[in-house]
Amino acid sequence: MAAAIAAFYAPMIYYIGLLDKTTLTLFLSSLSLALFSCAMEQKNYRWFIASGAALALSALTRGHFLIVGVGLCIWLAIYGPAIHRSRMGASAALLTGLLSIIGPVCLRNYIVGKEFVLVTSNVGLNLAIGNNPAGSGAYVEPPFIRGIPEHEFADSKAFAESQTGRNFQQAADVSSYFTHLALSFIFREPSLWIRLMGKKLFLFANSLEIPETYSFNYFRDKYPAILGMTLSFGILAPLGICGLIALGRRPSTIWLVIVGAIYALSVISFFVTSRYRIPIVLILIPCAAYYLANLRQSTLPDFIKLTWPLIPLWVLCNWQPQWLKGRIARSDRSTPHTLAGNILYQNGQIHQAVIEFEKARSLMPEFGSNYLYLSQCYAKLGQSDKVIESLEAAIRVNPMLDAAYANLAVEFADRKDYPRAAAALSYALRLKPYDPIYRRNHDKLLALMGRRTR
């Protein structure tokens, strides 16, 4: 029954079709769970070591599993099964398995980058993306990121340097800068952060598949026969949670609850997206199958006892309040058109790119980057008036978009309107006071106007 649920679970079908590491993540994490289950049953060091190694491999594809591994080590040391009269033995064995994979990777990172990085160096950036005053709980690409994975570190490093005036030599320094931003927000506005965490918990349990790059809902509309007629998270989650409730606090299965809780917490500590959430279904699917099997064999009183939590859970997982529909769901529909526009722009199909960016703008008129992308298209087409119109619209909806001010300065400079160009660039410098390009161009403009630079 669990295999049938997995075979017809729509997001699993969807991710198989993408050039993405999610399917590999699901394989490695399910392997680690299977080995951990054997370890809990056999109470043997070798199974715990093997499970730890598989969990570390999972962490190389999704960093959240490193948090799961550490959490399991702590749980095993306190409440786990005794091996040779010592719970610490099970914990140490799991930790040994983790270090057997993470250790060589960390050593390799030191040899290549001359700094110790466990798995990835973008923890601070992801923490800041998910914990800021404007956060929605979902992934929102920062305006200083170009949306191309290989440029993500360079873009975040350039932004951190422009804001601080420092030259960051190590990736850990860049990560620390963004970590400081996130922690400053948490301690400065704790009530706002608590509400944000509540939103992220709700998004984690909701049926909406939140995109990061590719949109599940976009492809479901394109291929309804494949993705529209299969099982969704809104169906699976209530069944799986009811299965966990039915299992109760059995010593042989309580670790499933522990793993699920740690993984969920590790995701909502950052931000919620579909591909970050999907590993949780590896726990929900067998629990849902257990619940359905019990339901089929139950008497009427047991049937009522088992089904009463199902309806409120279904309502909770499938309810989409106005703030979710108004911002996150519309962004989900807009994102594919923005991506298509960028691809068309890079391929020189400027007119088609304009059509896609206009669709994205109509769906998300408050998203300044779409106006910025449109201005770049109009610049390629030589339509200067539309360039200025688009950039001014970008600034109206997002006054913090420094690139819009900088591009507006370039457009005014091309028209020999140096005072307006200098004024626009001064706004960009207020947002990025240490940006060397903005500073150099501003000084050139002042020189052209016959003023001293400061």
Q: Is 13 helix (H, G, I), strand (E, B) or coil?
A: helix
pLDDT > 80? residue 327: no
DSSP string, 352-417: HHHHHHHHHHHH-TT-HHHHHHHHHHHHHTT-HHHHHHHHHHHHHH-TT-HHHHHHHHHHHHHTT-
**Nearest alpha carbon to residue 14 among 223, 272, 247, 245:** 223
Judge if 379 and 434 occupy the same domain: no
Please give the pLDDT value at position 149.
Answer: 64
Please give the pLDDT value at position 345.
Answer: 92
The Cα 368–Cα 349 span in angstroms is 22
Residue at a domain's end among 380, 398, 416: 398
pLDDT > 70? residue 453: no
Judge if 325 and 383 occupy the same domain: yes
In a domain, 354, yes or no: yes
CATH of the domain at 334: 1.25.40.10
Region 318-322: mean pLDDT is: 87
In a domain, 207, yes or no: no
In a domain, 425, yes or no: yes
Judge if 325 and 392 occupy the same domain: yes
What are the counts of helices (DSSP H) followed by strands (DSSP E) for the chain? 25, 0
Please give the pLDDT value at position 454.
Answer: 47
pLDDT tens across 364-403, in order? 888 888 898 999 999 999 999 999 999 999 999 888 888 8
In this prediction, what percent of the chain has a pLDDT beyond 70?
Answer: 96
Name the pLDDT band for 227 (thresholds 50, 70, 90).
confident
Please give the pLDDT value at position 147.
Answer: 59
In a domain, 428, yes or no: yes
- Domains: count for the chain: 2
pLDDT > 60? residue 185: yes
Q: What is the mean pLDDT of the chain?
A: 87
86, β-bridge pairs: 83
Q: Which domain holds residue 334?
A: 320-398
For 410, phi and psi rounded to 5 degrees?
-60, -45
In a domain, 149, yes or no: no
Please give the pLDDT value at position 142.
Answer: 79
In a domain, 434, yes or no: yes
pLDDT > 50? residue 52: yes
Q: Which residue has the higher pLDDT, 330 or 195?
A: 195
Name the pLDDT band for 121 (thresholds 50, 70, 90).
confident
Query: Angle at the Cα of 376 (from 372 to 377), degrees rounded to 5?
Result: 115
pTM for the whole structure: 0.83
Cβ atoms within 10 Å, residue 450: 7
Region 203-210: mean pLDDT is: 92
Please give the pLDDT value at position 446.
Answer: 81
The Cα 350–Cα 356 span in angstroms is 10
- Evaluate whether 37 touches 309 at the Cβ level (below 8 Å): no
Q: Which residue has the higher pLDDT, 394 or 327?
A: 394
What is the C-alpha R_g of the chain?
25
Region 142-161: mean pLDDT is: 76
In a domain, 194, yes or no: no
pLDDT > 50? residue 103: yes
Indicate the range of 160-169, 227-236, 445-454 predicted with least confidence. 445-454
In this prediction, what percent of the chain has a pLDDT beyond 90?
Answer: 45
Residue at a domain's end among 378, 398, 418: 398
Judge if 375 and 425 occupy the same domain: no
pLDDT tens across 75-99, in order? 998 887 666 567 788 899 999 999 9
Judge if 394 and 324 occupy the same domain: yes
Judge if 443 and 383 occupy the same domain: no
Please give the pLDDT value at position 240.
Answer: 94
Residue at a domain's end among 398, 421, 445: 398
Judge if 373 and 326 occupy the same domain: yes
pLDDT > 80? residue 74: yes
